[in-house]
Structure 1
């Protein structure tokens, strides 16, 4: 595998951690669980108006050093550390506030102590680490008090096994008595969860914990029935998808410092949105419209989607269509204020290169010289299908896949498949050596400048494989050669 284009993402898309600024649909709450303890880096916490005095008294807790870990989206970082004495006592004191958010102590003995803190950061917590969720007592912070009340009494966690059991009964025919009884039971269980959420909204409507709790809820899964009495699965998932973000308060930027945002993004784009470029772009646009006036979420969502579907890091066949859409539409000088105009210009230039060879587009024609110094034109090939195979002679993966492609070509060329291979980023000497070694049986060309083909076919790593149909439109790309026979069978029908 050889990278042809130097990536320009990590420093451009992601802000510093120190900044303040097709599966079954499940009915459980979105993740409110502690992330896996993984320390990324140290950060400097921005200054606040008040001080921090967090005191802890923990039974069954060994002495030793503890580190306090904070988060921003999917980043983790150490924000403080201290020593635990032999009696399980320790404290964190500092003159400025931590940002509101979810934190956790990494404790000796491979344990973690979760915190959800708002601006009241002078408090005391005591409890037994043998069962901290049910023994924790908090004084001085309503947010922490509610957080541990929820951990002890969370209806989502307690009712989840019953909900899963009832959900299996909802797979019966929608008109059956068993289905109707199960649906009644299912809705009664979800009513209990809703009642708990409403309780917190009533007693602490503006508390950071309540916003965290509400944001983490998933919409209720409905069971629409078709005229023939079967479940309308497509409508069920669609309704669930379009209401997935209903309870999320995008005006509360500090929810980005909790697991809720990233977990919802992952679930939305991996389980609920169809995995194709058009659907991903469509639902990204819907989500971005919700946050147009919330700069922190505008940055977070556009960055997350761009990085998730960046072509070299996704299995999506046309990640370029998503990436270029996000960059061109949302990384504007006016809105993408987290980056410099020069960086944004480079990102847009790269996105523009990608847009020349998206799925469904007319493939670019190429003329370059073969090893006999003869001009060979891609569109002159007569096959119903054409494989465009772009390789680098010194690329390990290219050398491994070329013999596989040769075997596939021998089988499928008589059935209407041609191959047009292009040597990229190499010298004439290396290209000739490669061609002589593999004795390529198809049209193979080289242009020392890459100018004849690169504007027409985007390549980030080699080998890059495109498939063109009889009209010379791009019908598949970013392939491994062993995927080609299945596609040949599909398009040669």
Structure 2
């Protein structure tokens, strides 16, 4: 289900939302003699400290708060100095005055007094622990290569029966206690197994159908609106698998998946805030080409329209400005035209280039990264210049340094590219140029196909484009 005893990787303090209630949790750990215990909890993909209890003269520890109850979720009692821990539940039933007891050498065996939620929880974990021990014994028998075929078949049959017993017990718990937290945990962790679709004989088509089924039924047992699940170790993992594993890595597809998740969450909840912030930040920091489109989607749909209740005005202003700056340069958009000047002093434009593909290349003669890119660009041009590719090469220097630009062109032998400069430096605004080199790949109509890629990647990108074009032309 989830680990019972592991090292605690991250614990940092976080203030809980105030509630007009209190909590008192007495803990007795036999054999534990350190000065304090720490109370932590899960919040999506992290763990946080909420309280510390110090050893009493009787050797017990009490976590208590007078002004705020604990938010529902799975909590951790953390032992020093190795951060071993055991878990307990806080539900939505106001059951926050109880006692827990265990042994420092058997933290997987905990008893609860005064908490129905935790009594059911530990009964369930004890059942699983016993079945896991049976399963380990059966696995050991199956791993024995000298085991007779009949005995191996018997062990496999016993494994199937054991699996059926676990499933039956889970169903019994969920049916008997449908509103219990342990039942929500069981439902949320049920495996998602697609149909076999034996009628589909093509293996690739069958796998595609199963994948689509998984996407459609992924949240059948997982109630994203349940506030108890926010503070569990599995909710974020489940959601992130749906978004980042079950979907194609394309901004439009990911945006639709994130929207699907958020449509199932209370827009005033912690979960809504967490998922919006997390996936907006992930889009902003992504190295995948085109993910700025996902960032713009998140800002337009969750920040620009006042749904981000946690964001202050300054933060909103900066995010909206960034989105507005990125929007004209998203993949699929028509690239802004450029009014430029050639070496001969003639006016020219980006849109004046008649070519199947245009590589828009921003560079400086004194840029070390540009100097490393130049050989790749030259090799690329030699390979593709007769296949409908033009390089529109923009030296980003101002009027006073144009001469050095042309000297570099002569030195490198790149005069057969379309070499231009912009005396007014308007491209910095139009193309959001922060550093060089910067490369945009445009189609015949000057739509942005790819951008912010390295010169060494151009060859592979262009090969893929030409291969797809050839396949489309041949009707494949």
With normalisation by structure 1, the TM-score equals 0.75
The 5 Å alignment of 1:101-180 reads 101-113=73-85, 114-118=87-91, 119-133=94-108, 135-154=109-128, 158=132
Where does the alignment leave 5 or more consecutive residues of structure 2 unmatched?
A: 140-156, 468-476
* TM-aligned CA deviation for residue 485 of structure 1: 0.8
Q: Is the 8 A contact 1:251 1:294 kept in 2?
A: no
Q: Is the 8 A contact 1:356 1:458 kept in 2?
A: no
Please name the residue that 2:18 is paired with: 47
Give the stretch that moved more between structures: 122-131 or 284-293: 284-293
Name which of 223, 227, 232 aligns with 1:258: 232
CA distance in 1: counterparts of 2:130 and 2:358, whole angstroms? 53
- CA distance 1:81–1:464, change in 2 (3 Å): farther
Q: Does 1:276 align with 2:247?
A: no
Residue correspondences, number: 440
Q: Is the 8 A contact 2:29 2:104 kept in 1?
A: yes
Please name the residue that 1:236 is paired with: 210
2:223 counterpart SS class: coil
CA distance in 1: counterparts of 2:435 and 2:349, whole angstroms? 23
Q: Does 1:213 align with 2:186?
A: yes
Instruction: Point out which structure has higher relative CO (alpha carbons under 8 A, 6+ apart).
Output: 1
2:38 counterpart SS class: strand
Name which of 261, 286, 303 aligns with 1:314: 286
Name which of 429, 437, 442 aligns with 1:454: 429
Give the stretch that moved more between structures: 91-100 or 77-86: 77-86
Q: Is the 8 A contact 1:360 1:475 kept in 2?
A: yes
* TM-aligned CA deviation for residue 385 of structure 1: 2.2
CA distance in 2: counterparts of 1:190 and 1:377, whole angstroms? 69
Task: Write out per-residue CA displacement over residues 291-343 of structure 1, whole angstroms, 9 at most, x where no aligned residue.
Answer: 36654444333333222222xx2243211222212221232444222224554
- CA distance 1:402–1:127, change in 2 (3 Å): farther
CA distance in 1: counterparts of 2:233 and 2:317, whole angstroms? 32
Please name the residue that 1:179 is paired with: none
Please name the residue that 1:365 is paired with: 337
Q: Does 1:225 align with 2:198?
A: yes
- CA distance 1:293–1:218, change in 2 (3 Å): farther
Please name the residue that 2:142 is paired with: none
CA distance in 1: counterparts of 2:400 and 2:78, whole angstroms? 57
* C-alpha RMSD of matched pairs (Å): 3.9
CA distance in 1: counterparts of 2:7 and 2:393, whole angstroms? 46
CA distance in 2: counterparts of 1:111 and 1:295, whole angstroms? 30
CA distance in 2: counterparts of 1:406 and 1:46, whole angstroms? 60
Q: Does 1:58 align with 2:33?
A: no
Q: Is the 8 A contact 1:62 1:88 kept in 2?
A: yes
CA distance in 2: counterparts of 1:236 and 1:142, whole angstroms? 40
CA distance in 2: counterparts of 1:103 and 1:301, whole angstroms? 21
1:484 counterpart SS class: helix
Please name the residue that 1:327 is paired with: 299
* TM-aligned CA deviation for residue 479 of structure 1: 1.9
1:266 counterpart SS class: helix
Q: Is the 8 A contact 2:358 2:442 kept in 1?
A: yes
* TM-aligned CA deviation for residue 247 of structure 1: 2.2
Task: Write out per-residue CA displacement over residues 366-413 of structure 1, whole angstroms, 9 at most, x where no aligned residue.
Answer: 222356655442234454322223457776655544443344334433
Please name the residue that 1:168 is paired with: none
1:405 counterpart SS class: helix
- CA distance 1:86–1:61, change in 2 (3 Å): farther
Q: Is the 8 A contact 1:468 1:476 kept in 2?
A: yes
CA distance in 2: counterparts of 1:431 and 1:123, whole angstroms? 78
Answer with 1 or 2: which has the greater Rg.
2
- CA distance 1:149–1:398, change in 2 (3 Å): farther
* TM-aligned CA deviation for residue 263 of structure 1: 0.9
CA distance in 2: counterparts of 1:185 and 1:395, whole angstroms? 68
2:329 counterpart SS class: coil
Q: Does 1:479 align with 2:450?
A: no
- CA distance 1:45–1:244, change in 2 (3 Å): same
- CA distance 1:329–1:50, change in 2 (3 Å): closer
Name which of 72, 75, 93 aligns with 2:64: 93
- CA distance 1:83–1:467, change in 2 (3 Å): same
CA distance in 1: counterparts of 2:343 and 2:37, whole angstroms? 66
Please name the residue that 2:385 is paired with: 413
CA distance in 1: counterparts of 2:439 and 2:62, whole angstroms? 58
- CA distance 1:222–1:421, change in 2 (3 Å): same
- CA distance 1:365–1:126, change in 2 (3 Å): same
